[in-house]
Amino acid sequence: MLLCGVAIFSLFMGTFIEMIDKYGVVNAELEHGDELARFFGLMKHFNGNVDIKLDLKLYIEEYFTYRWANDRNQAIDDAEELKILD
């Protein structure tokens, strides 16, 4: 009886940890956005407190938004593929 209880508890905990891990991957974009904002602040500081050109800033934001979206999807796809292989 105890062994069955431990096995069921382990199954639930494994599923719960997997859900938390996927949640972190999906929400990583917000963390990246904060890092990009700090980067722009640092660039402004080293540029004599003058903002960088808006066109350049938008280009950089667009590039990293695209990269983060694709990297996040790749990480989720890889996790699903590994789960299927198990």
Question: What's the pLDDT at 41?
Answer: 85
Q: Of 83, 35, 81, nearest to 61 (Cα)?
A: 35
Please check whether residue 1 lies inside any domain of the structure: no
Question: What's the pLDDT at 78?
Answer: 56
Question: What's the pLDDT at 77?
Answer: 56
Question: What's the pLDDT at 86?
Answer: 47
Question: What's the pLDDT at 8?
Answer: 92
Please check whether residue 20 lies inside any domain of the structure: no
Domain span at 65: 28-86
Please check whether residue 40 lies inside any domain of the structure: yes
Tokens of 23: 């949640």
Please check whether residue 60 lies inside any domain of the structure: yes
Residue with tokens 């991957």: 25
The pLDDT averaged over each successive group of 10 residues in the chain (86 residues) is 91 87 66 78 85 87 79 57 52
Please check whether residue 56 lies inside any domain of the structure: yes
Question: What's the pLDDT at 56?
Answer: 87
Please check whether residue 19 lies inside any domain of the structure: no
Tokens of 27: 């929400």
Dist. CA 35–CA 47, nearest whole Å:
18
Number of domains in the chain: 1
Please check whether residue 2 lies inside any domain of the structure: no
